[in-house]
């Protein structure tokens, strides 16, 4: 389970407008932190996998001290878990964790869609929308490529929203969401086609500056995605 105290205080500080500072502020520690977090988000480190401080330091070409500090920061955020006398592991998320992440995404992405629609989108969002519209609808559809574009699309919405604090919150939640997604199967072609259409509808609503519709479409899209993820995760857990 994630440590709720860290997440709660992080959100309180951010919404109060006070930047959250990691315990270490050196360039090397920051580099290690971002690199390890990216490895988790991209699935290079799997839930339950033990981390080797030495191996990470060698692969990142950094000293062990900044890697150690980065690991401590990620443990505080609940992305990693330190077990006394055993080691440090990538966190395994439960069904309750997934539900909490979903609730946070509803709030963040709904707000981001409204702000993006208020501004009429962005070049990055238009580019993602064009990629989605260019995807084939037949059996040649590459579901992995479609999902990659889909994640870029969600990120582009936050960029178009123009709120750096909102984008930071999303980046943190996305790492935790990636942990959950590693435990469920990828969308099949049929579901992927539905998601593509949902993304296109959201993008068009944002470009049309329809804040109400954009917010509602994002909400509906995430609710459907949550139902699919829960079914898959429950199947994995038995």
Give the integer Cα–Cα distance in Å for 70 and 176. 16
What pLDDT does residue 13 have?
Answer: 38
> Does pLDDT of 20 surpass 90?
no
DSSP helix/strand/coil, 88: strand
For the segment 123-143, what is each residue's pLDDT rounded down to a tens digit? Answer: 999 999 999 999 998 889 998
Q: Whose CA is closest to 218, among 234, 210, 140, 30?
A: 210
Name the pLDDT band for 47 (thresholds 50, 70, 90). Answer: confident
Identify any residues that bridge with 80 across adjacent strands, giving them in sequence order: 90
Do 79 and 176 touch, CB atoms closer than 8 A? Answer: yes
Which band of pLDDT confidence, cut at 50, 70 and 90, is reported for residue 67?
Answer: very high
Sign of the torsion angle spanned by Cα atoms 23, 27, 32, 35: positive
What is the pTM (predicted TM-score) of this model?
0.72
Question: What CA–CA distances, in Å, run from 171 to 34, 113, 227, 231?
Answer: 11, 16, 22, 25
Task: Please provide the distance, in angstroms rounded to a whole number, between the alpha carbons at the two ends of the chain.
Answer: 18
Q: What does each C-alpha distance from 233 to 83, 85, 97, 173, 177 come to in angstroms?
A: 24, 30, 11, 18, 13
Is 8's pLDDT higher than 70? Answer: no
Reported as a pLDDT band with limits 50, 70 and 90, residue 181 is: low
For 204-237, letters b (16+ CB in 10 Å) and e give bbbbeebbebbbebbeebbeebbebbbebbeeee
Choice between 119 and 8, residue whose per-residue pLDDT is larger = 119
pLDDT at residue number 188: 78
At 48-66, the pLDDT tens digits run 899 999 999 999 999 999 9
Tell me the average pLDDT across 79-83: 89
- Residue 176: per-residue pLDDT: 78
Mean of the per-residue pLDDT values of the chain: 83
C-beta atoms surrounding 10 within 10 Å: 17
Q: Classify residue 117 by burial, with Cβ atoms within 10 Å: 0-12, 13-18, 19+.
A: buried
Number of H helices, E strands in the chain: 10, 3
Domains defined for the chain, CATH in brackets: 4-90 (1.10.10.10), 95-237 (1.20.120.530)
pLDDT of residue 71 exceeding 70, the answer is yes
């Amino acid at each position: 389970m994630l440590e709720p105290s860290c997440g709660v205080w992080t959100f309180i500080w951010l919404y109060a407008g006070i930047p959250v500072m990691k315990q270490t502020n050196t360039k090397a520690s920051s580099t290690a932190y971002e690199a390890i977090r990216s490895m988790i988000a991209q699935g290079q480190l799997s839930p339950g996998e033990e981390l080797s401080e030495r191996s990470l330091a060698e692969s990142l070409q950094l000293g062990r001290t900044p890697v150690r500090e980065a690991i401590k920061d990620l443990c505080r955020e609940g992305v990693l878990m330190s077990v006394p006398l055993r080691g440090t592991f990538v966190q395994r998320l439960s069904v309750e964790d997934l539900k909490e992440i979903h609730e946070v995404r509803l709030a963040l992405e709904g707000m981001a869609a409204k702000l993006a629609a208020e501004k009429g989108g962005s070049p990055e969002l238009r580019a993602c929308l064009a990629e989605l519209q260019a995807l084939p609808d037949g059996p040649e559809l590459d579901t992995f490529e479609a999902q990659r574009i889909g994640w870029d699309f969600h990120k582009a919405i936050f960029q178009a929203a123009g709120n750096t604090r909102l984008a930071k919150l999303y980046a943190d939640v996305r790492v935790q969401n990636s942990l959950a997604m590693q435990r469920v199967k990828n969308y099949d072609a049929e579901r992927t086609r539905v998601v593509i259409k949902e993304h296109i509808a959201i993008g068009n609503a944002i470009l049309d500056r329809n804040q109400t519709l954009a917010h509602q479409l994002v909400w509906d899209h995430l609710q459907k995605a949550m139902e699919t993820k829960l079914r898959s995760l429950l199947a994995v857990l038995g």
